[in-house]
Amino acid sequence: MEKAGFRFQAHRGDSAFYPENTLVSYKAAIDQGYDVIELDNKFTADNRCICLHDGTYNRTCRFDDGTAFVEKTPSDALTLAEAKKLDAGLFKGEEFRGTRIPTLAEALDFIGSNSTLAVKLDNVFQSFNQVRFEEFCRVVKESGLGRRVGFTCKTFPYMLHLAEIFPEAEIHYDGSLTPFVLDWIGRNVKERATVWIPYDNKATAWCKERKADAEFCAELHNYGKVGLWLIAEVEELRRSVREFGADIIETNGTLKPGALELI
């Protein structure tokens, strides 16, 4: 089955099989035919924007000799030069030894130079102070990716702000779906908006927001495209497309774009 305009989004790149938020996982997503790469950002002590999901290096980084961090180490406890010495691949396997943390600029340049994929930046930028938020926006603007970049917003003020700063960018919203917010999306950014809601499965069990159902998704289509996360099985994909009418789904890499042919 094919659905015109349907897109597969890779969660932190192909994070199921490759070290997340690295050029290795982004390349895997490109090679496998994904349409969108979602990535996360944090800042170092010297205010350089890097690709990292957690607030600390502890889970995904090791020292070059393979040893793990003993103390909790926030991203901004190290300078970029210090962060670049860490191994960001070993936690996923010896075959990824030597993988480094990319800066946001490096990631955008790599994806932009090696594909026509879109990039979706996760909503953690809402926690940045003003200096870091401005630096984050500067890097995105200087990437030259234009409408290929999208921003996930958790709150209305940030959605409004980014829609103004980046008039071509895709706006992804995964916050509280009040009538006011939905009305604003529908009237102002409908053609470039995606409203994200969780698919009801183990991966989203922690989320207290309303889960996807046919009626809810049909309603949301009045305001923009509908995105579902986090999809891992073919049956979940089948329901997402056939029953819920999803326009885009996010998967961590366990479900490949070719799976669309199976439904």
- Please check whether residue 104 is in contact with residue 49, taking contact to mean a CB–CB distance below 8 angstroms: yes
pLDDT digits (tens, 9 = 90+) for 88-143: 999 999 999 999 999 999 999 999 999 999 999 999 999 999 999 999 999 999 99
Distances (CA, A) of 235 to 33, 204, 242, 263: 20, 16, 10, 8
Structure tokens belonging to residue 73: 């180490």
pLDDT at 1 over 60: no
**CB-based contacts of 185: which residues, under 8 Å, 6+ apart?**
159, 171, 173, 193, 195, 223, 224
Of the candidates 204, 195, 194, 199, which has an alpha carbon nearest to the alpha carbon of residue 235? 199
pLDDT at 23 over 70: yes
**CB-based contacts of 119: which residues, under 8 Å, 6+ apart?**
36, 37, 38, 39, 107, 108, 111, 145, 148, 149, 150
pLDDT at 3 over 90: no
| pLDDT for res 5 | 85
- Sorting pLDDT into bands at 50, 70 and 90, what band is 263? confident
The string over 225-238, giving b where at least 16 C-beta atoms fall within 10 Å of a residue's C-beta and e elsewhere, is bbbbbbbbeeebbe
Give the span between the Cα atoms of 37 and 258, in whole angstroms: 16
pLDDT digits (tens, 9 = 90+) for 28-79: 999 999 999 999 999 999 999 999 999 999 999 999 999 999 999 999 999 9
pLDDT digits (tens, 9 = 90+) for 144-194: 999 999 999 999 999 999 999 999 999 999 999 999 999 999 999 999 999
- Please check whether residue 213 is in contact with residue 244, taking contact to mean a CB–CB distance below 8 angstroms: yes
pLDDT at 4 over 90: no
Average pLDDT over residues 205-220: 97
Q: What residues does 153 pair with on adjacent strands?
A: 173
- Please check whether residue 62 is in contact with residue 98, taking contact to mean a CB–CB distance below 8 angstroms: no
- Sorting pLDDT into bands at 50, 70 and 90, what band is 262? confident
- Sorting pLDDT into bands at 50, 70 and 90, what band is 8? very high
Q: What residues does 8 pair with on adjacent strands?
A: 249
